[in-house]
Structure 1
Amino acid sequence: MKHVPLATHGIYHETGDSVPVRRTCRDRLEHWHVPHALERFDTSLGVTTVLSAGTSTGRPPVVLLPGADLNAATSLATVGALRGQHRVLVPDIPGEPGLSSSRRPHRYRHLLPVYGHWLDELLPQLCGEPVILVGHSLGAGIALASTPSDRVAKLVLINPAGIVTMRRTRELIWLRTQWRINPTLERSEQLLSYLMSPRFIPDMSLVSWYSMVADHCFPGRPPHRLPARTVHRWSGTPVVVATGEHDRLVPPQALRPRARSLLGVDVHTLPRVGHLALREAPAAVAELITPAPNNQKEAV
């Protein structure tokens, strides 16, 4: 993968705006009942903080890349669902609200290539053995933009950016605009209701998190889809692609043709799930990563 020149900018409105965001992340982790650790790694995008939980079980470790506006502290349900089967490592993506650097790639069209280079730097520091690389939304696009190697035993893409252009309807643009201008709890819940399945009621911790993000940060834009040749490089790696039945940003019918042609795989449709599968269906995500014996589910 060709590396592009690095130009970054901070994501916080004011210098002090990072304080409540980082405090909230630390509070959630400190009150989490599961034994875990935080470690920092140096990268070209600044310090990357990584959550680790679980112990080695003979299976490959899982490196989980959360989607935009999310991080390790907002993905604990999925980490909890995986930690009995794997050691789980969750980097807070630089340039997203969390405990890592606030440096976000400045050039929109270079967003995923720069993040792919960041992941190429990070993976060798995280683990000395092959991993299962799991990406959700933006995290999936970052995984696809990184360089395929024998460091990745399996690639799991959930509600993935990068394969197709994420859909931005007029309703979504309006909801995001209202949310950014006046990030009340009500407007955050309205945005989350659009992103999630109709059956799912977002919990107050997620609603308040989204309000905090809009109040203190400049939310990023959905990334461009990656060139076909970039995605196709991963066709030699075992790949799983899944999206929610009710995902309005990456619907199954839009994702399926390109996943088949570029990666040679069908798309798993997660029933009664929208775009935030890590919050809506952690057990289903864990099942995609490590299917139960004699319970291999067919892609829809």
Structure 2
Amino acid sequence: MKVPLTSSHGIYRDTDASVRVRRWCREQLQHRDVTHSLTRLETPLGSTTVLSTGTRAGLPPVVLLPGTGLNAATTLPTVRLLHGKHRVFVPDIPGEPGLSSSHRPHRHRLRAYGAWLDNLLPQLSAEPVILVGHALGAAIALAATPSAGIAALVLVNPAGLVPLTPTRALTRLRTRSIRNSRGGNSERILTHLLSPRYLADENLTDWFSMLTRDCTPSRPPRRLPTDTVRRWAGQLPIIVATGEHDTLLEPERLRDPVRSLLDVELRTIPRCGHLTLRERPHAVAELITQLP
């Protein structure tokens, strides 16, 4: 019996929730000052919508893989800083809230996402790309196959190297959100994901309210097999960074695995928590400029 790649149900609580989330994403993209196009591509995980923007300035294209609960519409602060120097592609990850397929992989989640990325990259660019992965997106990047089509890796708040360790308070809030879908816990959830010095804007708060109200939460990404991660070491330039205040992937837990598995030193982004693509987009852009 063939095992299905995607689950039999989508991530949204009902059809109206799907409509609300997709409408919100399209409205954000329409009203922001980033000129772009949206392309729908067929992949092993179903329909994948990709935002394309930016210029061809002689620098490698950037493929940005957002983390859990994020997508092209919610990562525009980072996209805005990159598209003046690079051609930028941001796929909404299938099985995450956004404009792509609403179905998550049924089994072997990261392996399925790695195969999805292997299929997607040649559809985006004929030249080697800089692969920038945030959180779940970083784990997906590491689960993909190293190839000549990838010029460099930039991994930010990377999942897949160590288990995620949400605090007890955050776990309670997420459990409460599953039982009560009215979305009232979003601001408190954000306090556990962001740096203490970062004040979430209304846009981000609205998005997390929508997530808790309209979407079923996903499981945290598992740690990747050691051999899967070590394939990348020494093959291409790699930068790995996490937030000083990331309570899910603390610098002290990531430092040794990053060194032993990828042969690079972990960088710490000051005044930053887990949502670097929103908190410190300039830091992400700076990491890319530091690639050799």
Give 2:147's match in structure 1, choosing from 146, 149, 153.
Answer: 149
What residue in structure 2 maps to residue 287 of structure 1? 286
What residue in structure 2 maps to residue 72 of structure 1? 72
Contact 1:132–1:156 under 8 Å retained in 2: yes
Question: Deviation per CA, 1:53-74, whole angstroms, max 9, x where unpaired?
Answer: 1111100000000000110000
Any idea what SS the aligned residue of 2:47 has? strand
What residue in structure 2 maps to residue 169 of structure 1? 167
Any idea what SS the aligned residue of 2:40 has? strand
Matched letter for residue 265 of structure 1: V
Shift in Å at residue 181 of structure 1? 3.0
What residue in structure 2 maps to residue 275 of structure 1? 274
Give 1:118's match in structure 2, choosing from 112, 116, 119.
Answer: 116
Taking structure 1 as the reference length, what is the TM-score of the superposition? Answer: 0.93
Matched letter for residue 101 of structure 2: S
What residue in structure 2 maps to residue 84 of structure 1? 84
After superposition, residues 7-86 of structure 1 pair within 5 angstroms as 7-9=6-8, 10-86=10-86
Question: Deviation per CA, 1:4-46, whole angstroms, max 9, x where unpaired?
Answer: 8624241111133210000000000010122111111100111
What residue in structure 1 maps to residue 223 of structure 2? 225
Contact 2:259–2:265 under 8 Å retained in 1: yes
In structure 1, distance between residues paired with 2:112 and 2:276: 25
Matched letter for residue 64 of structure 2: L
Of stretches 162-171 and 250-259 in structure 1, the one that deviates more from structure 2 is: 162-171
Contact 2:183–2:213 under 8 Å retained in 1: no
In structure 2, distance between residues paired with 1:189 and 1:118: 33
In structure 2, distance between residues paired with 1:167 and 1:232: 23
What residue in structure 2 maps to residue 134 of structure 1? 132
Taking structure 2 as the reference length, what is the TM-score of the superposition? Answer: 0.95
In structure 2, distance between residues paired with 1:128 and 1:58: 14
What residue in structure 2 maps to residue 253 of structure 1? 252
Any idea what SS the aligned residue of 1:234 has? coil
Let me know the Cα RMSD of the aligned residues. 1.5
Question: Deviation per CA, 1:196-224, whole angstroms, max 9, x where unpaired?
Answer: 10001111111111111121111111111
Contact 1:183–1:211 under 8 Å retained in 2: no
- Percent identity over the alignment is 60
> For the structure 1 residues 237 and 38, does the alpha-carbon distance in structure 2 shift closer, same or farther, using more than 3 Å as the test?
same
What residue in structure 2 maps to residue 193 of structure 1? 191
Shift in Å at residue 186 of structure 1? 4.7
Any idea what SS the aligned residue of 1:80 has? helix
Is 1:240 paired with 2:259?
Answer: no
In structure 1, distance between residues paired with 2:6 and 2:280: 36
Contact 2:66–2:133 under 8 Å retained in 1: yes
Shift in Å at residue 249 of structure 1? 0.6
- Stretches of structure 1 lacking an aligned partner (at least 5 in a row): none
Of stretches 228-237 and 9-18 in structure 1, the one that deviates more from structure 2 is: 9-18
In structure 2, distance between residues paired with 1:36 and 1:269: 31
